[in-house]
Amino acid sequence: MLGRMLGFARCAVLFPAVLASSLAAQTSVDSILPHIDRTGAHPALIVDGAPFLMLGAQMNNSSAFTATLPRVWPAMEELGVNTVEAPIYWEKFEPTEGSFDPSSIDLLLAQARTHNVHLVLLWFGTWKNGSPGYAPEWVKLDGKRFPLAVSKDGRQSFSMSPFAPATLAADTRAFTTLMQHLKEADPQHTVLMVQVENEAGMWGNTRDFSPQANRLFEQPVPKAVLTAMGKADAHGNWSEVFGADADGYFHAWAVSRYINQVAEAGRRVYPLPLYVNAAVSDPLHKATPGSFESGAAVADALPIWHAMCPAIDAIEPDIYLPDHASYTAVLTQYALPWNPFFVPETGNAPAYAHYFFAALGHGAFGWSPFGMDQTGYSNAPIGAEKIDTETLAPFALNYRIVAPMQRELAQWNREDRVRGSAENPDVHTETLHFAPVDGQPARWSATVSYGMPTFYSSKPAPGNAKPEGEALVVQLGPDEFLVTGVHARVDFNALVPANEQKSQRMWLSVEEGSYEQGKWKGTRLWNGDQTDYGLNFTSAAQVLRVRLTTF
């Protein structure tokens, strides 16, 4: 290991030359590399030349070690993931300044390949949940070179100042060395994406109040920020322009600008898709200063992050809000046309599992519950008490249903054909509307109802005992759909003009089956009791291909 470290340290010494030669070589995106494609209705993650659906899960923060990975893989296998999100710790990667130890990257690469999954690597650098907890000791102990941010009352806060050139340079060098190593060690593209920092921002304070930060805070707001925030004609310093929101927006500007520089240097070496994740603020109420992670890529600061981070492909929400209104509001806030969307973290308690199809219906190319390993740690109450078969089951069912058609789904999502529903405990039916198809307005909508028996019922949907239902409907053609669900009933309504006689839905055929290597294989036809009362899904992992007409 020591030899390995020294060898790699020599590489690091050559770093400026390596970087310079790469800058010239990497001006265009290599189409073989995983990359983001923006030519479809929704941006897609392209892997091996085709849209990819990330069936993900993230391990706990302290699990990426030789000692603990054996307790990660069984949970990942039980879930049926195709992608594992794993941290890379700055303190372990650069234990001594300028001397890099890539063994933790190589460990993850080797084990991911053995388990036949892709990786998303999470760079725990200057910020991990807003703090410098993962900074190496030589950073932590040198507050002069690597200053902490200052709080309003002049005390130090446990978050790095985003205005320190030495911290930015050190993180940039480490991140670039990580990307350089990936470029060399991962020709098979096991790693699909890299997360730059983790939930960057600052808890407990609204911004850095160091003298340098205060000086900048009194300067006119940069034009790029004004334009991004729809205030192109405004003039003034941060308080004058943004009032009570000034601190949060100022810190967002400072942190996003910093991260963009780290990302830009890294992608020049190796242009994998890069993203940042956000500790979201309350999506249903205007968050007050101090009540959320200041400077984070929260919904109302997204325009600033987007404008300041051209080197970042996507800005994603970590969703630990199990109630229906909040969860779906966050999906809407981040599934924006410019934002290649996926959910990099969500709670691992069973209450979260039924949001998978809703995320797909918002155009997500991936979804990843957090803390999915058996290292014995639980992040309850935001997650499950324990990671056992019962906890994993609803998440595993999600992935079992879609795994055989994962590539098809990713392509359908790119074409905006996918709609999803998550059971709302307060409203027990949901109508799904579809995009125009073949240049014509959609001819059908779908109604999902929850808590219905599989046979008949004249009563309105009562909802399931627990809100665990979900449904996914894909418009394959004007009168053809792919349908699946969990504890849900799905039916269709013809969208015909009022004067039209033939307005009632008739099943032309309902075929259960699955995709095998890109081809639909039917196994049986549903009819009689199985279709007379809608298409009723339990926890049986069934996928139906449905053709409709009217009478």
CB of 300 to ligand DGJ, least distance (A): 20
d(CA 299, CA 315): 10
Count of beta carbons in the 10 Å neighbourhood of residue 370: 24
3-class secondary structure, 283? coil
Which of 198, 542 has the CB closer to ligand DGJ? 198
Nearest residue to 213 via CA among 248, 161, 259: 161
CB of 122 to ligand DGJ, least distance (A): 8
3-class secondary structure, 398? helix
Count of beta carbons in the 10 Å neighbourhood of residue 521: 11
Which of 320, 450 has the CB closer to ligand DGJ? 320
Which of 274, 488 has the CB closer to ligand DGJ? 274
CB of 468 to ligand DGJ, least distance (A): 22
Which of 129, 328 has the CB closer to ligand DGJ? 129
Of the chain, the end-to-end C-alpha distance in Å amounts to 73
CB of 345 to ligand DGJ, least distance (A): 6
Cis ω for the linkage preceding 381 (within 30 of 0): yes
Give the chain's radius of gyration (CA, Å).
Answer: 25
Which of 146, 370 has the CB closer to ligand DGJ? 370
> What contacts 487, CB < 8 A, 6 or more positions away?
423, 450, 451, 464, 468, 469, 470, 537, 538, 539
Give phi and psi for 118, each to the nearest 5. Answer: -85, 170
CB of 124 to ligand DGJ, least distance (A): 8
Degrees to nearest 5, angle at CA 328 with 324 and 332 = 165
CB of 380 to ligand DGJ, least distance (A): 10
Which of 212, 291 has the CB closer to ligand DGJ? 291
DSSP string, 479-520: TEEEEEEESEEEEEEE---TT-S--SEEEEEEEEEEEETTEE
CB of 287 to ligand DGJ, least distance (A): 17
CB of 61 to ligand DGJ, least distance (A): 5
CB of 449 to ligand DGJ, least distance (A): 34
Cβ atoms of residues 72 and 80 within 8 Å:
no
Cβ atoms of residues 397 and 55 within 8 Å:
no
Which of 57, 409 has the CB closer to ligand DGJ? 57
Strand 156-160 relative to strand 118-128, pairing: unpaired
Which of 112, 279 has the CB closer to ligand DGJ? 279
CB of 89 to ligand DGJ, least distance (A): 12
Cβ atoms of residues 473 and 482 within 8 Å:
yes
Number of H helices, E strands in the chain: 17, 23
Angle between helical axes of 2-13 and 165-185 (0-180°, round to 10): 110
CB of 209 to ligand DGJ, least distance (A): 25
Cβ atoms of residues 256 and 305 within 8 Å:
yes
CB of 422 to ligand DGJ, least distance (A): 21
Residues that bind ligand DGJ (CB under 6 A): 61, 129, 198-199, 318, 345, 370-371, 379
Which of 80, 371 has the CB closer to ligand DGJ? 371
d(CA 251, CA 206): 8
Nearest residue to 434 via CA among 415, 450, 411, 409: 415
Which of 129, 294 has the CB closer to ligand DGJ? 129
Which of 122, 482 has the CB closer to ligand DGJ? 122
Which of 371, 469 has the CB closer to ligand DGJ? 371
User: Tokens for 84?
Assistant: 């594992």
Which of 168, 280 has the CB closer to ligand DGJ? 280
CB of 509 to ligand DGJ, least distance (A): 46
Degrees to nearest 5, angle at CA 16 with 12 and 20 = 130
3-state helix, strand, coil in the chain (%, to 5): 35, 25, 40
Which of 346, 421 has the CB closer to ligand DGJ? 346
- Quote the distance between the C-alpha of residue 278 and its chain's center: 10
> What contacts 464, CB < 8 A, 6 or more positions away?
423, 450, 451, 487
d(CA 421, CA 354): 9
CB of 136 to ligand DGJ, least distance (A): 19
d(CA 395, CA 368): 10
Q: By beta-carbon distance, which residue lies closest to ligand DGJ? A: 379
